[in-house]
Amino acid sequence: MLLDVLSEQNPQWQNDGRGQGPGFERDIVARLEPILSGPLPGGVRRAVVLSGLRRSGKSTVLRQLASRLARQAESPTDVVYLDLGDPRILGISVEGLLEATGLLRTRPATRTLLLDEVGHDRVWPDSIKRLVDLGPDAPGIIVADSAAARLRASPGGETAVGRRIDLELTPMTLGEIARASGLSTGDPRDADPQRLGMLADEYLVRGGLPEVALPGSPSFTSGDAYRILREDAANILALDAPRIREVRDVHALRRLWAMLARGASLSLNVGKIASALEISRQTVEQLLSVLSELFLVREVPCRGDGPAAPIRNPPKWLVADPGIAAAHLTENERGDPVHRGYLVESAAALHLAAARQELPGLEITYARAAKEIDFVVRHPDIETVGIEMKHFDRPAEAVDDERAARVAAEFGVRTLIRVTRQPVPRLAVVAGCTIRTEPLWRFLNWPVPLLKGGIEP
C-alpha cells in the first residue's frame, strides 16, 4: 500500500517527469534547485527547512520542485515527494516510511526527499540529522509544513542545528503575480508601466497569498477575498499559536493582533499597549514574539540615530502581507493616507524579506527618529541603502531632494531610494547623496537590482 501512496503522490514519476501544478513557478524553486542538487562547498550537505505563513504555497513549491528536479534526474523516481499528512500514512515516521519503502537502500546520494507536513512526525529533526550525517551518501532533503509556525526541533529530541538551512517562503511578490497574469518582468525595458502600476496599487490591498492574489481568485469587490484572509488569520491564531508556546491569555493575543493589523505598529509603544490590554510589558513582548513566529508580523529592528549610534528604540512590527492588513480595515480606511502608508511599508518589507533568498545575509533595519528613512538595507556586497516609502502623487521637487539628502547624511546613507506613485523613475545627486526616485511598481518588481543600483532610470 505504501508504494501505491507514493506513486499517487508523485505524478512526476510518469509523464516524462512532469508533475501537476500551475504553469508558473515560484521564484524560490529555481534558487532551491542548486542547494538540493549536490553538496555545498566543503562537501557538507544540509537539509533545507522551509517555513512561512499558512497558505503561502509551501506544498505547491515542493511539488513544483519535484517536477523540475525529476526532469533532470537520471530517473524520475530519484525525486520523492512525501506528504506525511496523508491519512493513509498518518502516524508513520519519516524513517519508518523510508525503511518500509526501501527508498534509500540503493544510491541514497542520488535521491532528493521533499517531505511535506512534517509536523505530523514529532521526531522529524532527529531523523533529518541522521540522514544528513550520512555524509557523502546523504540525500538532498527539504522539509515543510502547512502550519504558520517556524519548524523547530522536537521536544526533548536531538536537533539538526548546523545541519539545516532555514528559509522563509514569503507570500507571492508583485513580480510573481505579474508573471502569473501574463505580464513581462524579465527586462524593465520590456515592461508595461501602466499595467504594472495598476497591479502594484492592487497589490497593496490584495497582498500576495496565492488563494486570493492569482487571476481567477475570489472577488475583492464582493468581500469574499477579505473574508478568507480574516478567517485565515483567525485560524492561525487558533490552530498554530499552540505550536509555538502556551498562550495563557488568548484574548489578549487576538486584541494585540487586531491592533497590529490596523497599523498600530507604526508607532508601537509597548508600555501603552500593555496598559490598553491590561497586561504586563513582558507579556506584550512575548505575544509579539508569538505573532512573529507565526509569520503574521515582520520585525524590523532599529539601528539608532546614525551609523555608530547604539540601538535604543524598539523594533517596528509590520503585518507580513498587505492583503491581510487591508482585510482588517474598512473600505474608507484602505484609501486613507495613513493606513495606505502602512500597507506600502508592509509590501516593501515583504519584498525585502523575499530578496534575502537572492542575497543571503541581507540586513533590514530602520533608522530611529527619521520618518524619511523607512528602511536601511545593508549587505557585504552592496553599499548601504536607505529606502523612503513616500507614495507621492506629485513629482518630487528640488526641495524634496535637499531635505532627503540632509536626513540621509545624518544617518551615514549615501544612496537613497525614494519609492513613490510617480510613473517615471528619476535620478538626482544632491550634496554627495544619490537619490533614485522609483515608481512603486518598479521597486516591487526588481528590488534586488535596484538595491544594487543596476537599473537605469
CATH number for the domain spanning 32: value is: 3.40.50.300
Q: 284: which residues sit within 8 A by CB, 6+ positions away?
A: 256, 270, 273, 274, 277
Are residues 183 and 162 part of one domain? no
Are residues 207 and 161 part of one domain? no
Please name the residue ranges forming H helices in 133-249. Answer: 174-180, 193-206, 210-213, 224-235, 241-244
Are residues 196 and 152 part of one domain? no
Torsion angle defined by CA atoms of residues 427, 430, 434 and 440, in that order, rounded to the nearest 10 degrees: -50
Residue 457 located in a structural domain: no
Domain end, chosen from 135, 169, 203, is at 169
Cα–Cα distance, 424 to 404 (Å, whole number): 19
Are residues 329 and 185 part of one domain? yes
Domain end, chosen from 169, 184, 207, is at 169
CB 372 within 8 A of CB 341: no
Residue 49 located in a structural domain: yes
Neighbours of 405 (CB within 10 A): 21
CB 197 within 8 A of CB 423: yes
Are residues 340 and 253 part of one domain? yes
Residue 352 located in a structural domain: yes
pTM of the model: 0.91
From the list 34, 3, 35, the residue with the least C-alpha distance to 132 is 35
Are residues 266 and 186 part of one domain? yes
From the list 279, 292, 275, 281, the residue with the least C-alpha distance to 248 is 279
Are residues 209 and 143 part of one domain? no
Residue type, 286: Q
Which helix (H) or strand (E) element contains residue 9? helix 2-9
CB 439 within 8 A of CB 424: yes
Cα–Cα distance, 285 to 92 (Å, whole number): 37
Cell matching residue 341: 502608508
Are residues 423 and 275 part of one domain? yes
What total of structural domains would you count in the chain? 2
Cα–Cα distance, 359 to 376 (Å, whole number): 15
Are residues 57 and 38 part of one domain? yes
From the list 130, 195, 137, 191, the residue with the least C-alpha distance to 164 is 130
From the list 113, 110, 144, 105, the residue with the least C-alpha distance to 6 is 113
Residue 456 located in a structural domain: no
Range(s) of the domain holding residue 91: 2-169
Are residues 197 and 289 part of one domain? yes
Which helix (H) or strand (E) element contains residue 67? helix 58-72
Neighbours of 331 (CB within 10 A): 10
The one-digit pLDDT tens for each residue of the chain (457 residues) are 788 898 899 998 887 656 555 567 899 998 898 887 655 555 667 889 999 999 999 999 999 999 989 888 888 889 999 999 999 999 889 999 988 888 888 888 888 999 999 989 988 988 998 898 888 888 999 999 988 887 865 444 445 556 788 899 999 999 999 999 999 888 888 889 999 999 999 999 999 999 999 888 898 888 899 999 999 999 999 988 887 778 888 899 999 999 899 886 555 678 888 888 889 989 998 999 999 999 999 999 887 555 455 556 778 889 999 999 999 999 999 988 888 888 999 999 999 999 998 898 999 998 765 567 889 999 999 889 999 988 666 777 788 888 888 888 888 888 999 998 887 888 899 988 999 999 999 999 999 999 998 777 6
Domain end, chosen from 106, 140, 169, is at 169
Are residues 196 and 95 part of one domain? no
Residue 361 located in a structural domain: yes
Residue 68 located in a structural domain: yes
Residue 61 located in a structural domain: yes
For residue 402, CA distances in Å to 406, 411, 430, 433, 452 come to: 6, 15, 7, 9, 23
Cell matching residue 129: 540529522
Residue 357 located in a structural domain: yes
Are residues 354 and 221 part of one domain? yes
